[in-house]
Amino acid sequence: MRKIGHFGKFGGRYVPEMLMPALEELESTYESAKKDKDFQKEFKELLRNFSGRPTPLTYAANLTEKLGGAKIYLKNEGLNITGAHKITHCIGQAMLAKKMGKKRLIAETGAGQHGLATATVAAKFGFECSVYMGEEDIKRQRPNVFLMERLGAKVIPVSFGSKTLKDAVNAALKDYIENVKTSHYLLGSVVGPHPYPTMTRDFQSIVGKETKKQIKKLEGKYPDVIIACVGGGSNAMGIFYDFIKEKEVNLIGVEAGGVGDKIGEHSARFKGGSIGVVEGFKSYFLQDKDGQLQKTHSISAGLDYAGVGPELAYLQETKRVQFQSITDQEALNAFDLLARVEGIIPALESAHALAFAIKIAPRLEKQKIIVVNLSGRGDKDLFIVAKAFKDKTFKEFLLDYTKFYEQY
Ligand SMILES: *Cc1c(COP(=O)(O)O)cnc(C)c1O
């Protein structure tokens, strides 16, 4: 194993020999794209005119006043097309796939958010697209499956193992190994073997770059605290990366505390995990003694993942980023509060970052500034939130809907 793509002892490229040429090709294509002015220009152009960048940095005046402490700003990534930050690295990777002459994109998805972003760029760039998804997840996430199919993607049910995300990863990898010449594996976060964590972080770093400019203009200085939720870590690395060298800015990552501290009740890798090598990279994982991934839980699908990006593991070890966890209930409370006082419905993932800001803001002086990365908007969470708030009329609507469905 060559010592490449490491962040301290984390990261690397632990994959079967037959995948090496493809990862080397991806790495060299990416390295040349980084220096290619036309590539960078086209990427920026797509972010501006397709995705809708720059996203605003919104002062949450009512929330700030209510909490009575630090000023809270929201970097509203939910205003991107498809409703979250994910589209940014999907656009970047689709451009690289085109450069490599690939005809097809492969992805795996749990709740469907990454599948949806991948299907979106496949439609935009004219790729064939196969999205692997566990049978259990397909049942629970029919609306996203429907949308992916409308976008022209083939959603392939995975019927072995637990029929969820980790089985979908295995099925997608098998496809990739068999079709590596024609297909690009589009990974959805700052995880996986090198060069994915570096490449995805670089694409997402636009979030931190914009935030720097925006807050300088609004406040004349950098924030005191930046908070982001951490699933794989792409939205967090995106907003953190350009601030790592600004030592006065505190960076806080928020993991899913779920419903308790026992195995299967949360997804807090830095609280309950240990170092291992899984899915091609070395990092913190929630795993048993044999390195089998444990069951995880979070009310937010995007944070419900057993591993974390290797660069975040390194930043945690070197204490540049502090990690905290927020429970399902705290995230729901934050979701509710933001909707009521600011008119912004956040994704449940982003509500975790927001919940931590709500905790600390009252204790900070009024001239302090907190920026929360609002990684997505909450429309996608409609069904989960209606259930969590025990909305009886929503349940009646679901039961009644078939009547309407048959009418035309
Ligand atoms: C997928 C997702 C996340 C988690 O992924 P990261 O790679 O950790 O950013 C967070 N927020 C939203 C809205 C998502 O869709």
Is residue 84 in contact with ligand 1, taking CB distance under 6 Å? yes
Q: Which residues of 128-163 are buried (b: 16+ CB within 10 A; e: fewer)?
A: ebbbbbbebbbebbeebbebbeebebebbbbeeeeb
- How much is the pLDDT for 1? 46
Q: Which residues of the chain have pLDDT under 50?
A: 1
Q: Each residue of 245-299: pLDDT tens digit?
A: 999 999 999 999 999 999 999 999 999 999 999 999 999 999 998 888 999 999 9
CA–CA separation, 342 and 62 (whole Å) = 6
- 311 in active site: no
Task: Report the candidate in 89, 26, 28 with the shortest Cα–Cα distance to residue 233.
Answer: 89
**Percent of the chain whose pLDDT exceeds 70:** 99
Is residue 304 in contact with ligand 1, taking CB distance under 6 Å? no
- How much is the pLDDT for 14? 96
- How much is the pLDDT for 328? 98
Q: For residue 190, which atom of ligand 1 is closest to its CA? A: 7
In three-state secondary structure terms, 240 is helix
CA–CA separation, 280 and 181 (whole Å) = 20
Q: Active-site residue among 86, 102, 166, 282?
A: 86
The pTM assigned to this predicted structure is 0.97
Residue 184 and residue 105 in contact, taking contact as beta carbons nearer than 8 Å: yes
Element (H, E) at 62: helix 61-67
- How much is the pLDDT for 205? 98
Is residue 373 in contact with ligand 1, taking CB distance under 6 Å? no
User: How many C-beta neighbours within 10 Å does residue 277 have?
Assistant: 14
Residue 282 structure tokens:
């070395």
- How much is the pLDDT for 289? 87
Q: Residue of the nearest CA to atom 14 in ligand 1?
A: 302
Query: What is the DSSP annotation of 379-392?
Result: GGGHHHHHHHTT-H
- How much is the pLDDT for 122? 98
Q: Each residue of 190-228: pLDDT tens digit?
A: 999 999 999 999 999 999 999 999 999 999 999 999 999
Q: For residue 348, which atom of ligand 1 is closest to its CA? A: 13
Is residue 229 in contact with ligand 1, taking CB distance under 6 Å? yes
**Residue to mutate (ligand 1; options 90, 186, 235, 279; most atoms within 8 A of CB):** 235
